[in-house]
Structure 1
């Protein structure tokens, strides 16, 4: 609401300033100069009042900005009767603040997904019936029903025989976890199997997911906003401007020369060039599927030297893929996959769905199974094309076909295996794993060329899994088994070396994304919490979009700097001319307008930035539409 009010005020300022200047000029051209000056005055005063209030607020915060020059030029122009010059400066200033506001809000949308994902109610067993209660009414020891697809509302222990939990949002583990009676279930995980009962271990406010929400809020509060590029030069430019204006007045005894100097010095090249170039950069980045939430994050991307990457869903696809088929009993590999996938069509299990997807990708026909029985978290049995098929864990299958003790192939860390039995025989095994993204190697190489000096992996997964997946990536370090708060600590530790960029996709990454100088979320399939906390969202499910995103950010910042240097250089020449009496206040204001136009045209070159990676905006937009993810 606060940002909305500020945007409305800045829009109103621009409308008032433009209206005052335009209407006043109309009366001036009809020889009604007194009325014109009154209208110009009416158009300037509201803008000047808002500006003075903002300057007082900035001084209260200990900040000194170039807005002071704009206030001085308008005030001096009004004081010495140069109302037209004051009106022109008012339009320049209000236009600059409007564009800056637009830059900050260009790509930012109201994302409340983190908080909206927190369950508001829980289903409790009471006197043989089920009742829905507010989450705050749940006490330790309460028995809750967690339906399939539900987010676990509080930390607790499994009271049913078996539960199948998707903990990827909390731990980064891509494969669902089988948890037996008495095992722990963390709030924020999702029930990926059949409904189960949970005994609450602690109140909702003390549970894991609530802690993650608090971490995000605290990290966001601790991250100071980027200061405007213009303000970094404010003190020196302000001192030079006031000094030159005072000297012109002192040595010539002509206050109009001081007014002319102040008008020419109004730092609109600084106020305008930076937001225009950065807005253009924001727009250009969006063409390539990189949604940057404001001009500040885009500028910060240009300074990043350290990159911290999550594993699951970031470096890897975050989904199990079929990597090999181990055949027994002389049955062809394709037939093993076809029969197993046909039966798995009856299951919502993530591994089962991955097996079905692998079969369809190979063009295998999948008949409809019959007489299907599923043991949640264990496996399925049924009839496929008249053959008795069973698929599930190795022990589940061998126990039911009477081949207990049968050896199974060795699988690597982070992999999962499904056994397939056909007509009472062990037909083979399907080996699944979360694969490294194809574009990862080239992406990391490109980021090194972009100036990223240090690349680390931060994951909640086991170390052996992380090391296997990233074996040949040439990372500068691996941090495994991290909790959300440990990821935040890693970000803060690395910050001592310089600006840090964090990339992740799960709820467990959200606090670290918020704590980093730049947080980047995989928005196409990542958790809503990470998109909420991040400064940048990759709208397409391709991590290699990082490289063009950084390239565009650096190019946009470079164009902004070029515009600033050229604009300020021309302004300084104009100030000297004004001090020598070669420019009147109105002429100085018009000169400054010409400089502004040149600066804006140069800044708009950022719209034509072409990343060297060779990606086309058209293809990125097409991919975005296919993912179904669009800026809100």
Structure 2
């Protein structure tokens, strides 16, 4: 199977999964090494999702080229893992952390108890204190060796990459505490710091476990996308066999039963009605003629099995591409993340230099060896930039995951931060504010025809067609007769009309004016049609000729008026449309928008010019090919659920639910997420800067430094977790 995330052109992009990372320092180390390779234009490693995004020459960013280089650093690069594998990986990481945390907690508890007895002066003599100090060291051995091993391995890898980060500082802090403690015991002192090493490891492991749970929660947001079953009925060896999706290649023939989710993208071998709501957002079924492409995630309707010729295998489907677009967004970095990375990049080396220099400087200032060593240990511990590395990516992951649950998927890495600063919003009318579900606004019938009789005939005739307009008429007429009529379809022209035979009543025709005219019908001009020039006209006729005319108009989404009202409290909101003035004014009145905020009969170029005149940053929501220019002109372009492929490709975000409620909630989440990002970044930067300055000018016990450092990391993680668990 060909991986669609792999590079295919002269200058392309690729997404891979990077295994073996322990923290954000690992991500920065890989970035630093790969970024300087020939042919690599840009690279971004997203630690929370273990995703590596790279852009450059096809050969330079190929998996076969990168994997050996990254393997030498101690990491493993693979094709982008499926969502199910990512869940399994995070569950394995959680078990891995839980085991080490359990060992660290059990043995560390006794180390801490021994240290407390010594600190509290609760032991009868210095000799007993010295013995208990040795016991404290003995209990710390499993914690320092087994529980702390992941930190040492990650520190070694980042050193090998010449990008020393947090884990190098943690390793130096732990082993400095051990060396200082052993030295003090050798001199006969019981004032040891094994508890500092134990606390540093255990608390950081606890923070990592909380962080992993947050990452798991953020990844689960991708599960809201439709997921067809894992097996399908495929034609193999001259018979239909149940086959795993992964084994079905393009060109294969598969068959689907009515009501079943389409599992693979393909071409229909016969005409069919398809419910595309789960993927395209159209609220009524669509008729697909033979040879029309259909997509995985849509649902097959009708009463017969349908065969499909597969065009895209598992991993290449439109559904998979949507998931990959979300992963693509997560793997890249916005301005706040880049700022945090730059801060962490210089903070770690500076902290390392300060920690190493603290011992000789302390001795030069007249401190004794023990006090100078303890001061250097405190500098190493307090300088760990854990919080800086986690400040933005965890908040970004939690925020984007929550937005996906709310029904808005982001494609552009900068879209989340830009959405939080939006000032103006422009909305297309047709397909964005309206739902594509027509409703009857007016009708006329043959003179002398009773309404109940007309509804009865209409209901019986419309039952024979699955066209959206026919189904709307059937719903309108259904109150008259809810029985299932016996009909025989004589002729059907998809999208035009249908001829049926009703037993005992003769022939009936239902369809457009063009269809009935082609059948030899004479259709009079209707006053109702003139009153609703923008409505869709459906005509009904029998053997005697014209029977009735029905006029249907597209209706706005149920939440359109309330969503616009909510948006208008925070943003400039306008409507842009190429439709007639009368249609736009009627919609504006229905939605409660001022007429001066609605612009009709605008060409694509005019829409784009209007957008550029609005207060920036701007957001545009549009679904058609004619909206692609405006989607590009806006700071953030959003494609609604039923958008065309061209609009979806040009948009920075996709709505996954009908209506605008997802956009309203997504904008609110974007503002909260950016606020959390800034809070985290500010808190972590202030902590590391002040803590380093404070520990240099005054003595801080190493245990206090550990608690302060871990408290900073946990505060950042839990602050981001508010987004993931927020209801």
Provide, for residues 461-508 of structure 1, a one-character-per-residue CA deviation record: whole Å limited to 9, x for no partner: xx879x97899766647987659xx98x998x67xx86x564443697
Trace 1:548-563 onto structure 2 (pairs within 5 A). Answer: 548-563=665-680
User: Please, which runs of 5 or more residues in structure 2 have no aligned partner?
Assistant: 1-84, 118-122, 124-131, 182-192, 364-371, 589-596, 600-606, 612-619
**Taking structure 1 as the reference length, what is the TM-score of the superposition?**
0.66
Provide, for residues 521-559 of structure 1, a one-character-per-residue CA deviation record: whole Å limited to 9, x for no partner: 22xxxxxxxxxxxxxxxxxx5422322322233224323
Q: 1:225 Cα shift?
A: 0.8
> Is residue 97 from structure 1 mapped to residue 97 from structure 2 by the alignment?
no
Aligned to 2:406: 290
Q: 1:19 Cα shift?
A: 3.5
Aligned to 1:235: 345
On the 8 A contact 2:511/2:539 being kept in 1, the answer is yes
**Closer, same or farther in 2 for the Cα pair 1:328/1:369, shift >3 Å?**
same
Which protein has greater RCO, CA pairs closer than 8 Å, 6+ apart? 1
On the 8 A contact 2:558/2:659 being kept in 1, the answer is no
Separation in 1, partners of 2:433, 2:454? 30
On the 8 A contact 2:641/2:654 being kept in 1, the answer is no
Trace 1:333-348 onto structure 2 (pairs within 5 A). Answer: 336-337=454-455, 340-341=458-459, 344=462
CA RMSD in angstroms comes to 5.8
**Closer, same or farther in 2 for the Cα pair 1:502/1:111, shift >3 Å?**
same
Aligned to 2:310: 204
On the 8 A contact 1:281/1:606 being kept in 2, the answer is yes
Provide, for residues 95-152 of structure 1, a one-character-per-residue CA deviation record: whole Å limited to 9, x for no partner: 332232222221433649677379944579x9xxx96797969979x9x988766759
On the 8 A contact 1:107/1:291 being kept in 2, the answer is no
Aligned to 1:569: 686
The secondary structure found in structure 1 opposite 2:418 is coil
**Closer, same or farther in 2 for the Cα pair 1:573/1:516, shift >3 Å?**
same
The secondary structure found in structure 2 opposite 1:582 is coil
Provide, for residues 575-607 of structure 1, a one-character-per-residue CA deviation record: whole Å limited to 9, x for no partner: 333323421212322344565677678778769
> Is residue 373 from structure 1 mapped to residue 488 from structure 2 by the alignment?
yes
Aligned to 1:529: none
Q: 1:285 Cα shift?
A: 6.8
Separation in 1, partners of 2:90, 2:396? 19
Q: 1:77 Cα shift?
A: 2.5
Q: 1:3 Cα shift?
A: 3.6
Aligned to 1:322: 439
> Is residue 34 from structure 1 mapped to residue 134 from structure 2 by the alignment?
yes
> Is residue 301 from structure 1 mapped to residue 388 from structure 2 by the alignment?
no
On the 8 A contact 2:500/2:508 being kept in 1, the answer is yes
Trace 1:273-288 onto structure 2 (pairs within 5 A). Answer: none
Trace 1:396-411 onto structure 2 (pairs within 5 A). Answer: 403-406=521-524, 409=529
When the two structures are aligned, how many residues end up with a matched partner? 557
Q: 1:234 Cα shift?
A: 0.4
> Is residue 355 from structure 1 mapped to residue 455 from structure 2 by the alignment?
no
Aligned to 1:418: 538
On the 8 A contact 1:299/1:553 being kept in 2, the answer is no
The secondary structure found in structure 1 opposite 2:331 is coil
Aligned to 2:16: none
**Closer, same or farther in 2 for the Cα pair 1:103/1:334, shift >3 Å?**
farther
Separation in 1, partners of 2:407, 2:219? 8
Q: 1:235 Cα shift?
A: 1.8
Provide, for residues 184-214 of structure 1, a one-character-per-residue CA deviation record: whole Å limited to 9, x for no partner: 422438765675998x8xx634799967467
On the 8 A contact 1:16/1:43 being kept in 2, the answer is yes
The secondary structure found in structure 1 opposite 2:92 is helix
Q: 1:164 Cα shift?
A: 5.6
Aligned to 1:255: 373
On the 8 A contact 2:379/2:692 being kept in 1, the answer is yes
Q: 1:262 Cα shift?
A: 1.8
1:225 is aligned, of 331, 337, 344, to 331
Separation in 1, partners of 2:533, 2:152? 63
Aligned to 2:173: 73
On the 8 A contact 2:499/2:510 being kept in 1, the answer is yes
Separation in 1, partners of 2:488, 2:198? 80
Aligned to 1:429: 549
On the 8 A contact 1:310/1:505 being kept in 2, the answer is no
> Is residue 8 from structure 1 mapped to residue 95 from structure 2 by the alignment?
yes
Separation in 1, partners of 2:715, 2:623? 52
**Closer, same or farther in 2 for the Cα pair 1:430/1:561, shift >3 Å?**
same
The secondary structure found in structure 1 opposite 2:539 is strand
Separation in 1, partners of 2:265, 2:682? 55
Aligned to 2:196: 85
**Closer, same or farther in 2 for the Cα pair 1:172/1:292, shift >3 Å?**
closer
Q: 1:517 Cα shift?
A: 5.8
Aligned to 1:625: none
On the 8 A contact 1:388/1:424 being kept in 2, the answer is no
Q: 1:353 Cα shift?
A: 3.6
**Closer, same or farther in 2 for the Cα pair 1:413/1:93, shift >3 Å?**
farther
Separation in 2, partners of 1:210, 1:608? 32
On the 8 A contact 2:103/2:143 being kept in 1, the answer is yes
On the 8 A contact 1:501/1:516 being kept in 2, the answer is yes
Q: Identify which range, 600-609 or 247-256, moves more after superposition.
A: 600-609
**Closer, same or farther in 2 for the Cα pair 1:11/1:258, shift >3 Å?**
same
Aligned to 1:48: 148
The secondary structure found in structure 2 opposite 1:74 is helix
Q: 1:416 Cα shift?
A: 4.7
Provide, for residues 358-416 of structure 1, a one-character-per-residue CA deviation record: whole Å limited to 9, x for no partner: 457xxx443425443345554475779x9889462146995899844555748999965
> Is residue 505 from structure 1 mapped to residue 641 from structure 2 by the alignment?
yes
Aligned to 1:264: 382
Separation in 2, partners of 1:512, 1:590? 48
Separation in 2, partners of 1:115, 1:601? 31
Q: 1:257 Cα shift?
A: 0.7
Separation in 2, partners of 1:238, 1:393? 73
Separation in 2, partners of 1:53, 1:40? 19
